[in-house]
Amino acid sequence: MNYFDYNATHPLLPEARQAWLEAAGQYWANPSSVSGPASRARLHLAECREIWANHFRCRPENVVFTAGATEATNAILAHVARKAPAEARVLLSPFEHPAVIEPALAHFGGRVDFLPQDDAGAVDPGKAEALLEGGGYVLGCLMAANNETGLLQPVARMAKLCQRHRCPLLVDAAQWIGKMPPAQELQADYLTISGHKFGGPRGSGVLILSDCATGFRGRRGGGQEQGRHAGTENVEAISALTAALKAQPSAGWKQSGTDAFMTTLEGAIYRVIGGHQARLPNTLSLLLPRYRATRWLPRLEKHGYIVSTGAACATGKESPSHVLKALGLSDEEASRVIRISGGPETDEALWLGLRAALDTVLAELDDDDEARGLVTVIDPDAL
C-alpha cells in the first residue's frame, strides 16, 4: 500500500520506537522523585530538552514538553485570555488549524479578527500591519505551513510586525518540523510542534517559548516543566519524539516527487490548489474533476494509494474545509479536493504511480455513472 497521508500521521519511525522501548526499560521512574532511577529519568529528560533547545537555538528552560499541538494551542490561548484585558482582541490567519481557531473563538468570541490573505494563498503582512497599528491585540496566530494545501506562510515578516507592535505571536509549526530544513525564520513567542507529524508518537509535542513568553502557565498541578505545564512527564514519548527529530534528513524531505507529479498536470483536468506557490515539499491539494473526493478515495485505495479529503480531522464532516473556502473555492469545488501528502522517502516513481491511478479511477467513475444512467456518454461514431 502506498501511503500519501503523512500530514495526518507519519508512521512511528524505527528510531522513535527504539527510543520509546529503551526509555520504558531504563527511565521508568518519576523524574520528579529523588531516587537513583528517578535521577536517571530526569537526566534523560534534560538531554532531550537540550536537543530541542539546540535545534531552536533557545535556552533549555524555554522548551516545554506537551501532549501534542492541540493541547499546547489550547493551553496558550487559555493563558493569554487569563491575562488579557476584557476588550483585548486576537488576530488569526484564515488558514489556521481548528486547534487554534476553536480555542481562540472559545476564549475571545467576537474579538477574533482574521488576517486578510493575498491571491497566492498566504496572509498579507502589509494588511496585517494596518490591523496591528490599531492596537489592542494580545496575540497573533500564523501557522508556518498549511496542513491541507502545504502553502507556506510569511512567518518571518509577521514576526517582525508583531514585535514592532508588541503583539505576541503564536506559530503553529506542526507541519513544518522535519519536512523543512531547520529554519531561523520560525521566530515566535509560542511555537507549537506535534510529535506524530514527523515520526514521533501521537499525543506528544513540544512548545518553544521566547524569552518574552517565559511567564507561560499551561496545565495547573505539580511543578513539572518548571511549573509551566504540570503533570508527570511522559518520558517514553519525549524520548521517542526527540529520536524522531534526530532522524530527520537535514535538508528536509524530498521535493522531486511532487515536482514530477506537477509536471504531468500541464494541460490536465486536475488543478493544484495554490499552483506553483511556495509549499511544503511533500504536500499537494488537488481539485479533481466531476466527482466528490469521497467517491475517489476508496477506489484509489483499491488501486493501492491512500490519500485523504482535506484535513484528516475534518474527514466525515459535511461542512467544506474553511481553508479551501478562504482560498475562494465554492462548496461544490471544495468537496472535490483531495490532499496528497507523501513521506520523506516517497520517490518520483510512487508519485507518478499515483498520477496514473487518478486517470484510472476517473475512467472507472465515468463508466460507473454511465452504467447507472447518471451520465450519457455519446459515441461520436453513432451520430
Inter-residue contact 148 to 321 (CB < 8 Å): yes
Question: Is residue 70 part of the contact set for ligand PLP (CB under 6 A)?
Answer: yes
Contacts of 157 (CB under 8 A, 6+ apart): 125
Find the shortest distance in angstroms from Cβ 365 to ligand PLP: 28
Residue whose CB is less far from ligand PLP, 100 or 362: 100
In this structure, what are the phi and psi dihedrals at residue 308, rounded to the nearest 5 degrees? -135, 165
Contacts of 88 (CB under 8 A, 6+ apart): 108, 111, 136, 137, 138
Residue whose CB is less far from ligand PLP, 128 or 314: 314
Question: Is residue 245 part of the contact set for ligand PLP (CB under 6 A)?
Answer: no
Residue whose CB is less far from ligand PLP, 76 or 350: 76
In this structure, what are the phi and psi dihedrals at residue 218, rounded to the nearest 5 degrees? -95, -120
**Cα(140)–Cα(128) distance, integer angstroms:** 10
CB atoms closer than 10 angstroms to residue 368: 14
Question: Is residue 177 part of the contact set for ligand PLP (CB under 6 A)?
Answer: no
Question: Is residue 174 part of the contact set for ligand PLP (CB under 6 A)?
Answer: yes
Number of residues that bind ligand PLP (CB under 6 A): 13
Residue whose CB is less far from ligand PLP, 274 or 357: 274
Question: Is residue 97 part of the contact set for ligand PLP (CB under 6 A)?
Answer: yes
Q: Which of residues 178-237 bind ligand PLP (CB under 6 A)?
A: 194, 205
**Cα(195)–Cα(9) distance, integer angstroms:** 9
Inter-residue contact 281 to 253 (CB < 8 Å): yes
Strands 137-141 and 63-66: unpaired
Question: Is residue 147 part of the contact set for ligand PLP (CB under 6 A)?
Answer: yes
Question: Is residue 309 part of the contact set for ligand PLP (CB under 6 A)?
Answer: no
In this structure, what are the phi and psi dihedrals at residue 349, rounded to the nearest 5 degrees? -60, -40
Find the shortest distance in angstroms from Cβ 299 to ligand PLP: 25
Taking CB under 6 A as the criterion, the residue among 64, 76, 121, 172 binding ligand PLP is: 172
Residue whose CB is less far from ligand PLP, 13 or 174: 174
Question: Is residue 93 part of the contact set for ligand PLP (CB under 6 A)?
Answer: no
Which strands form 283-287's sheet, in the order they lie side by side?
A: 271-272, 283-287, 337-341, 308-309
Q: Cell for 340?
A: 496528497
Taking CB under 6 A as the criterion, the residue among 64, 143, 288, 329 binding ligand PLP is: 143
Question: Is residue 68 part of the contact set for ligand PLP (CB under 6 A)?
Answer: yes
Question: Is residue 74 part of the contact set for ligand PLP (CB under 6 A)?
Answer: no
Find the shortest distance in angstroms from Cβ 359 to ligand PLP: 29
Residues lying near ligand PLP in the complex (CB under 6 A) are found at: 68-70, 97, 99, 143, 147, 172, 174-175, 194, 205, 313
